[in-house]
A and B are shown apart, each in its own frame.
Chain A
Amino acid sequence: MTPAIEAGDLGKSYRGRWALRHASVSVPTGKVVGLVGANGAGKSTFLHLSVGLLAPSEGEIRVLGGRPGDGREQLAKVGMLAQDTPLYGSFTVADHLELGARLNPSWDSAAAEARIAKVGLDQKQKAAALSGGQRSQLALTLAIGKRPELLLLDEPVASLDPLARREFLQDLMELAADGLSIVLSSHLIGDVERVCDHLVVLVDGHVRLAGDIDDILGEHRVITAPRLRPDQPTDDEVIERTDTPRQTTLLVRGSGPVLDPTWTSTDVGLEEIVLAYMARPATTSPTLSSVGGVA
Chain B
Amino acid sequence: MIEFRISPKSGVAPYRQIVNQVRQALRLGLLREGDQLPTVKEVVASVAINPNTVLKAYRELEHEGLAEGRPGVGTFITRSLAGSSLAAHRALRKDLDRWLTKARSAGLDDDSIAALFEDTFRGAVADEGAA
B112 at the interface (CB under 8 A from A): no
Q: A170-B48, A190-B8, A267-B11 are in contact. List 4 more A-B contacts (CB 8 A).
A: A31-B52, A174-B44, A193-B8, A195-B49
**Contact pick for A170, options B40, B45, B53, B56, CB 8 Å:** B45
Candidates A170, A172, A214; contact of B46 at CB < 8 Å: A170
In Å, the complex CA distance between A31 and B11 comes to: 23
Interface of B is mostly: helix
**Which chain B residues in 40-67 approach chain A with CB under 8 Å?**
40-41, 44-53, 56
A169 at the binding interface (Cβ < 8 Å): yes
Which residues of chain A come closer than 8 Å to B49, judged between CB atoms? 173, 194-195
Contacts of A178 in B (CB 8 A): 41
Q: Which of B11, B14, B40 sits near A194, CB closer than 8 Å?
A: B14
Determine if A177 and B8 form an interchain contact, defined as CB atoms under 8 angstroms apart: no
Instruction: Tell whether, in the assembled complex, residue A196 and residue B50 are in contact, meaning their CB atoms are under 8 Å apart.
Output: yes
Q: How many angstroms between the C-alpha atoms of A176 and B41 in the bound complex? A: 9
List residues of chain B with CB under 8 Å of any chain A CB: 6, 8, 11, 13-14, 40-41, 44-53, 56, 105-106
Known contacts A31-B52, A173-B51; is A194 also within 8 Å of B8 by CB? yes
Instruction: List residues of A whose CB falls within 8 A of some B CB.
Output: 31-32, 166, 169-174, 176-178, 190, 193-197, 214, 217, 261, 264, 267, 269
Please tell me if the beta carbons of B44 and A194 are within 8 angstroms of each other in the complex. no
Q: Please measure, in the bound complex, the distance between the C-alpha atom of A173 and the C-alpha atom of B49, giving whole angstroms.
A: 7
Q: Which residues of A contact B105 (CB under 8 A)?
A: 261
Residue of B nearest to A174 (CB): B45
Question: Whole-angstrom distance between the alpha carbons of A14 and B48 in the complex?
Answer: 37
Please measure, in the bound complex, the distance between the C-alpha atom of A269 and the C-alpha atom of B13, giving whole angstroms: 9
Write out the residue numbers on chain A whose beta carbons fall within 8 Å of the beta carbon of B56. 214
Q: Are A173 and B8 in contact (CB under 8 A)?
A: no
**Given A193-B8, A217-B13, A269-B11; A177-B51 close (CB under 8 Å):** yes
Q: 23 A–B contact pairs at CB < 8 A?
A: A31-B52, A32-B52, A166-B48, A170-B44, A170-B45, A172-B48, A173-B45, A173-B49, A173-B50, A173-B51, A174-B41, A176-B44, A176-B50, A177-B41, A193-B8, A193-B14, A194-B49, A195-B48, A195-B50, A197-B50, A197-B52, A214-B13, A261-B105
CB contacts (< 8 Å) of B13 on chain A: these are 214, 217
Given contacts A177-B41, A214-B13, contact A194 B48 (CB under 8 A): yes
Contact A264 B106 (CB under 8 A): yes
Q: Closest CB-CB distance, B93 to chain A, in whole Å?
A: 22
Which 4 residue pairs are nearest across A and B when measured between Cβ atoms? A173-B44, A177-B51, A169-B48, A170-B48
CB distance from B52 to the nearest CB of A (A): 5
- With CB as the reference atom, state the residue of chain B lying closest to A32: B50
CA distance A197 to B50 in the complex (A): 7
For B46, list chain A residues within 8 Å (CB).
170
Q: How far is the CA of A173 from the CA of B48 in the complex (A)?
A: 6
What residue of chain A has the Cβ atom nearest to residue B9's Cβ? A190
Q: Which residues of the partner chain B approach A196 to less than 8 Å between Cβ atoms?
A: 50
